[in-house]
């Protein structure tokens, strides 16, 4: 099976490219932009195509059996048009090219952010999409809705991973590791809210199942480690793996959220290209329970996580040790 992986230089895309490149029966090719940094793929040469989601992609997708779409503008900061251009227009441009080239299967990596941050305990795929007022969350939701219009033209799978973490993740895993390493003392509501961690290798396993199954076509699936825990437990495991003290101070969520709104307004007023240290998105996501059911993926895809969250965090700590040595 010849598979194209968009965003192959990114955290999730690079793990997928490496994994599928080593699997018999697969010919995996990564799609990256001309300006992409390839540090995650530096250990060996991988087959790559240079193209952007905004390009004419008809020739790019010629000859592929499947597309795994991981490329996205993923941030809690930036203007709406930039997010819409990549996450919606770019995704639909890719889908149109896939359909024109008779690509058989299209696996789209969405996110549990489409459910919103209203409080979730074991939420399943039947729950309505109610995204947080954030450009990333909104455009991921819009892209998902529009993709389902192609279900009669291509074999579509939509995966909604929750709080993906793992080695090479410089967006959330690395900042958490650094904060714990430096003595992070507290967390909103004492870290008592639930989270659904998803170790990146478990997500890779779920994607591979979607490539191989004949069940679940046209469906959406939540993906996680299947072990929903409180943030303080998650950070406690991380701290123990690093040999550091876990956070113990409880910080009220409401004042933090209020401060994040003020900072958000000020930073936007001065057209800052960088987000403030705390944003409404970051505080909202950890201030309420964020727990999701993976029973549908287990039942239809036969998905069973290969790694526990604790094992995943151990791999993260090992990577962080190597990262610190490399950075001096």
- Whole-angstrom distance, CA of residue 147 vs CA of residue 105: 13
Q: pLDDT tens-digit profile of 97-140? A: 999 999 999 999 999 999 999 999 999 999 999 999 999 999 99
**126 domain-assigned:** yes
Cα(first)–Cα(last) distance of the chain, in Å?
42
Q: Please determine, for residue 237, whether its predicted confidence score (pLDDT) is greater than 80.
A: yes
Q: Is residue 10 part of a domain?
A: yes
Predicted structure pTM score: 0.94
Pseudo-torsion of CA 116, 117, 119, 124, nearest 10°?
30
Residue 22 in any domain: the answer is yes
Which pLDDT value is given to residue 83? Answer: 95
Is residue 231 assigned to a domain?
no
The answer, yes or no, to whether residue 315 has pLDDT greater than 80, is yes
- Flag whether 148 is in a domain: yes
Domain membership of residue 157 (yes or no) is: yes
CB 12 within 8 A of CB 75: no
pLDDT of residue 246: 85
**Structural domains counted in the chain:** 1
Domain range for 86? 2-162+200-224+292-306
Question: Quick check: is 89 in a domain?
Answer: yes
Range in 108-122, 241-255, 307-321 with the lowest mean pLDDT: 241-255
Among residues 199, 193, 72, 84, the alpha carbon closest in space to that of 142 is found at 84
**Crossing angle (nearest 10°) for helices 135-147 and 91-100:** 20
Which tens digit of pLDDT belongs to each residue from 163-187? Answer: 999 999 998 999 999 989 988 777 7
- CATH code at 63? 3.40.50.720
Which residue shows structure tokens 């994607």?
207
Nearest to 52 by CA among 18, 8, 15, 1: 8
In a domain, 246, yes or no: no
- Residue 328 reports pLDDT greater than 70: no
């Amino acid at each position: 099976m010849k598979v194209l992986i968009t965003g192959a230089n990114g955290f999730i895309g690079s793990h997928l490219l490496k994994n599928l490149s080593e699997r018999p029966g697969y010919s995996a090719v990564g799609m990256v932009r001309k300006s992409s940094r390839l540090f995650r793929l530096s250990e060996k040469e991988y087959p790559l195509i240079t193209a952007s989601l905004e390009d004419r992609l008809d020739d790019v997708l010629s000859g592929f059996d499947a597309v795994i779409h991981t490329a996205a503008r993923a941030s809690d900061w930036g203007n709406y048009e930039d997010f819409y251009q990549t996450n919606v227009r770019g995704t639909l441009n890719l889908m149109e090219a896939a359909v024109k080239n008779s690509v058989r299967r299209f696996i789209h990596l969405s996110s549990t952010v489409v459910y919103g941050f209203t409080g979730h305990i074991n939420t399943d795929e039947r729950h309505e999409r109610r995204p947080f007022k954030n450009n990333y969350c909104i455009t991921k939701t819009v892209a998902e809705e529009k993709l389902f219009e192609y279900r009669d033209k291509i074999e579509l799978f939509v995966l909604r991973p929750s709080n993906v973490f793992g080695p090479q993740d410089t967006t959330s895993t690395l900042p958490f590791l650094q904060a714990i390493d430096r003595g992070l003392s507290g967390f909103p509501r004492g870290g008592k809210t639930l989270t659904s961690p998803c170790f990146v290798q478990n997500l890779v396993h779920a994607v591979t199942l979607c490539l191989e199954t004949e069940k679940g076509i046209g469906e959406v699936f939540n993906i996680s480690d299947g072990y929903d825990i409180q943030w303080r437990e998650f950070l406690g495991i991380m701290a123990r793996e690093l040999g550091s003290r876990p956070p113990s101070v409880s910080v009220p969520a409401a004042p933090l959220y209020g401060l994040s709104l003020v900072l958000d307004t000020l930073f936007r007023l001065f057209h800052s290209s960088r987000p403030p240290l705390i944003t409404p998105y970051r505080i909202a996501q950890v201030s309420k329970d964020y727990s999701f059911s993976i029973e549908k993926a287990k039942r239809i895809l036969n998905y069973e996580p290969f790694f526990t969250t604790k094992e995943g965090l151990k791999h993260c700590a090992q990577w962080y040790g190597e990262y610190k040595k490399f950075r001096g």
